[in-house]
Amino acid sequence: MVSGTGIRPFARLLDKSKASVWVISPGGKLIYLSLGCSQWLGFDSALLLDRRSVAGAAISDEKLDLIAAALAPPAELMRRGTASLKITPPALERHRPEAREVRFLKVGNGNTALILAIAGDFDDRLPDPELKDAVAIRQQLDSWRRQHAATAINIAAGTSTQAVRLRRRIHVAASTRTDVGLFGPPGSGGESILMRIHELSAPGENLINVDGPLMDSDLLDATLMPARHQLAENKDARVTALVRGLDEMPFEAQQRLASLLDTFSGRLRLLASCGAQLIELNAPTDDVISDSLSFENDRASGLCSQLIDVISSLTIVNPPLALRVEDIPLIATAMLDTRHAAGEGPAERINRAALDALVIYPWPHNYKELEDAIRHSTRTATGSVIACEHLPLAIRSYQPGSVSKRAKQSKISLDDAIQRYELRLINETLESADGNRAEAARRLGISRARLIRRLDDHSPGTSSSKEAR
């Protein structure tokens, strides 16, 4: 092979570009160095031709041989076919070459493979920032799963104060068999939390599901009949009643449930989900209060006082998703992970634009809506990444409400607003009438005297203008 003669047109272009490019023969000798190499190294790079450039090979003490060896690719190149290295060639004379990123490429196979080296400024070794974010979320998720292996419920993922408090409560509830009241808005996944608590605190124990709002005392009796028999026949038997919507259960049924809990004290356990309104369990009770008044108070709270006593053993508050904004990326990723593990769709991560859309959305239906959105996206996405276009239309098209909708109405005093509007209108008309008050009054359809009066009212220093402000 003749050095630098077989690819002259290409070599000329490389020399013109001032790029530092060199080629190493299959035998490990430098067979081409571009003009840019001479500028980088500070001497005529042709002096390096035919010198060995193999990592780890024995070389003489001659400086040119040292420089040629410094231009050698790492050993892994032959295996991988490509390699990156930061090279700082030794100085031949006074000129000290700067360190440069070099990319090596093996061209061809076996004993005829050439090595092409290009030095320059590359940023391809820096990770994609978006990917970096995804890795950070993944690490957070893995760490959370490691720390809370047993109670790792997706909706409890996160780093917010609310998430930490929710996890602690779940942990306590899962480690002891006790009555639990879970307060959260509709769609907050209370049932799944209670199921998990049951699995962990009383594994194998009989569980009876009760739909609170549909019950009356007779239907409740019928629903709990098997449990009552079991508890009556066997003194060691234990049963858990999981009541959904306890606060929506008719009062008569609540009182019947309270009576059953009292009858089988401790052996019949109550796990109940209630609405978002947390009862003030520690509120002082008035012993002197009449029964009828107490009953009215119970109705107002949605729970009878006996059941409040029961669930005061342990209450868990699950805040709405809109209050856990910073946890949304982690919760959504955890939900996606669960679906991916179950073989639903190829999506493995959610890109940043889609996460932003999830964060911005107000989630009126809470965790259930997020779960539905992730399920929809998993089915829609064809690749490994969920993007904005894969989200449900309501989420991807959501724009935060206009400021007027969110403006606090208490800030707007009607009188003040009318006065400001009136003054602005008068000023604008006066301006358009070149300051002619009579003309402005005519245009506004009022008398000149009234216009002047209004201006006087609004002028600084008058009592009415002070009031207006």
Task: Confirm if 170 and 151 have CB atoms less than 8 A apart.
Answer: yes
301 and 309 Cβ atoms separated by less than 8 Å? no
**Element containing residue 8 per DSSP (H, E):** helix 8-17
How far is the C-alpha of 329 from the C-alpha of 141, rounded, in Å? 10
Q: Structure tokens of 446?
A: 């009022």
Q: How many other CB atoms sit within 10 Å of the CB of residue 47?
A: 15
Residue 155 Cβ, how far from another protein at the closest point, in Å?
A: 16
Selected range binding another protein among 110-118, 232-240, 364-372, 417-425, rule: CB under 8 A: 417-425
Segment contacting another protein by CB under 8 A, of 66-74, 101-109, 181-189, 420-428: 420-428
Quick one: 44 or 416, whose CB is closer to another protein?
416
C-alpha distances out from residue 16 to 13, 49, 153, 270, 438, Å: 5, 20, 62, 82, 80
- Candidate residues 9, 56, 110, 129; the one interacting with another protein per rule CB under 8 A: 129
Contact residue for another protein among 236, 404, 445, 463 (CB under 8 A)? 404
State which residue, 69 or 468, has the beta carbon closest to another protein.
468
Least gap, CB of 370 to another protein (angstroms): 13
Q: How far apart are CA 54 and CA 117, in angstroms?
A: 13
Residue 416 sits in the site that holds another protein (CB under 8 A): yes
Nearer CB in complex with another protein: 2/414: 414
Binds another protein (CB under 8 A): choice among 62, 76, 142, 326: 326
Tokens encoding 35: 């003009």
Residue 102 vs residues 18, 45, 69: alpha-carbon distances, Å: 15, 17, 14
330 DSSP assignment: H
Contacts with another protein, 306-325, as mask; x by CB under 8 A: -------------------x
Distance CA 381, CA 386 (A): 6
> Cβ(366)–Cβ(188) under 8 Å?
yes
Q: Please give the C-alpha separations between residue 270 and each of 209, 302, 350, in angstroms, as whole numbers.
A: 10, 17, 38
Asked if 406 touches another protein (CB under 8 A), the answer is yes
Q: Hey, is 5 helix, strand or coil? A: coil
Per CB under 8 A, 467 contacts another protein: no
Give yes or no for residue 122 binding another protein (CB under 8 A).
no
- Closest separation in Å from C-beta 402 to another protein: 6
In the range 141-200, which residues lie near another protein by CB under 8 A? none
User: Is 104 or 363 the residue whose CB approaches another protein more closely?
Assistant: 363
Q: Is 394 in the site for another protein (CB under 8 A)?
A: no
Q: Could you say whether residue 407 binds another protein (CB under 8 A)? A: yes
> Is residue 360 within the footprint of another protein (CB under 8 A)?
yes
Taking CB under 8 A as the rule, does residue 207 contact another protein? Answer: no
Tell me the closest approach of the beta carbon of residue 94 to another protein, in angstroms. Answer: 31
- Record the tokens describing residue 404, joined without a space: 């007027």
The number of residues that bind another protein (CB under 8 A) is 31
Taking the C-alpha atoms of residue 314 and residue 170, their distance in angstroms, rounded to an integer, is 10
How would you classify residue 459: left for phi > 0, otherwise alpha for psi between -120 and 50, otherwise beta?
beta
Residues engaged in binding another protein (CB under 8 A): 129, 133, 325-326, 328-329, 352, 355-356, 359-360, 362, 399-404, 406-408, 410-413, 416-417, 420-421, 424, 469
